[in-house]
């Protein structure tokens, strides 16, 4: 896969940078929003956060804290707009250039290549498969890199609190990733190949029908092509929905792991007679609420990459790197 990706390394780095900036903005929001809302509502004391943040920021009066929170969200909206604009521009550039190079490669093939390959397949492979590769491999890689930043920051925060708690979380995290990789990788790859195969068959049937439309109308043979197209279309949509279901189940499993971890953490702190359980619980929950979506995105990105590997095989055959 890297033989294709390395040609667009700068673009991929730009995508990862854009995603990382957005992630840092979200992380900043998790670190600021929860304390401010807790203080303004009167549920939490400012001294709790001053102790851990080593700052007098949260000692400000409620009105200044609200202004600070509003200023953060305005800043986030403005920065996110320009970052997302840059992200979409980079994705467009990447996809357009990859399609151009593959099209150029196809035009330079020997004549026998066109006799050996179906034109409908070539059209799909040089357009749709490239789009799938960008959306299912390149973009998820950039998301994977940026969301990993959140996980690393969270683990550093946990290490600051308790090293054994860190070991427990790392063990759980690695276990979840390992189970996901072993159970889902083969399933998703097989489903992706079926999706790819059914999509090609849909293209082929469509091309055959339009090329033979006069004969079809004369002999009233429409039902034959309609049935074939309908069967392939049904299988294509069915398999696509299977992948959506897998991602949905994975997300629920991750949420379950998070809840179990919170319960385990509270029980452990109670057994150890920790005197700062409320502060630790607030900190873990605040970071965890941001960590959970990150782990979910990492999981979905890995699934997308497995799904997109079928398209990578097609691109590699079209474009000898």
Q: Tell me if the domain spanning 2-318 has CATH number 1.20.1560.10.
A: yes
Residue 197 token pair: 């195969």
Does the predicted model carry a pTM greater than 0.85? no
Q: Which DSSP string corresponds to 85-148?
A: HHHHHHHHHHHHHHHHHHHHHHHTS-HHHHHHS-HHHHHHHHHHHHHHHIIIIIHHHHHHHHHH
Residues of 76-91 as b/e, b for ≥16 C-beta within 10 angstroms? eeeebeebeeebeebb
Question: How many angstroms separate the CA atoms of 41 and 282, rounded?
Answer: 15
Domain ranges of the chain: 2-318
Q: Give, for all 321 residues of the chain, the pLDDT tens digit.
A: 545 556 666 666 777 777 777 777 776 766 677 677 767 766 666 666 666 666 666 666 777 777 877 887 888 788 878 877 877 787 777 777 777 877 777 777 777 777 777 776 777 777 777 777 777 777 787 777 777 777 777 777 777 766 766 776 677 767 766 766 666 666 777 777 787 777 777 777 877 777 777 777 777 777 888 888 888 888 877 877 777 777 677 667 766 776 677 677 667 666 666 666 665 666 666 666 667 777 777 877 877 787 777 777 777 777 664
């Amino acid at each position: 896969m890297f033989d294709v990706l390395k040609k667009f390394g700068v673009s991929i780095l730009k995508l990862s940078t854009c995603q990382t900036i957005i992630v840092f903005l979200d992380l900043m929001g998790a670190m600021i929003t929860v304390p401010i809302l807790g203080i303004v509502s009167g549920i939490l004391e400012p001294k709790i956060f001053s102790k851990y943040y080593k700052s007098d920021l949260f000692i400000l009066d409620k009105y200044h804290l609200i202004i600070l929170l509003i200023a953060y969200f305005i800043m986030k909206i403005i920065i996110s707009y320009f970052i997302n604009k840059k992200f979409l521009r980079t994705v467009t550039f990447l996809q357009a250039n990859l399609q151009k190079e593959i099209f150029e490669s196809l035009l330079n093939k020997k004549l026998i290549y066109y006799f050996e390959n179906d034109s409908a397949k070539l059209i799909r492979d040089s357009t749709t498969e490239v789009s799938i590769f960008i959306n299912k491999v390149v973009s998820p890689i950039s998301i994977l890199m940026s969301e990993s930043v959140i996980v690393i920051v969270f683990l550093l925060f946990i290490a600051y609190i308790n090293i054994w708690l860190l070991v427990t979380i790392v063990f759980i995290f690695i276990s979840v990733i390992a189970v996901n990789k072993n159970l889902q990788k083969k399933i998703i790859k097989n489903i992706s190949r079926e999706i790819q195969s059914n999509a090609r068959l849909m293209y082929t049937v469509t091309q055959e029908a339009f090329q033979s439309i006069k004969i079809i109308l004369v002999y009233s043979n429409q039902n034959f092509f309609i049935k074939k197209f309908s069967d392939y279309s049904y299988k294509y949509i069915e398999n696509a929905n299977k992948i959506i279901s897998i991602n949905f189940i994975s997300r629920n499993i991750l949420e379950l792991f998070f809840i179990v971890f919170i319960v385990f953490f509270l029980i452990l702190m109670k057994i150890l007679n920790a005197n700062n359980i409320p502060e630790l619980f607030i900190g873990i929950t605040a970071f965890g609420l941001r960590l959970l979506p990150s782990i979910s995105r990492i999981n979905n990105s890995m699934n997308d990459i497995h799904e997109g590997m079928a398209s990578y095989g097609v691109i590699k055959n079209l474009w000898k790197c």
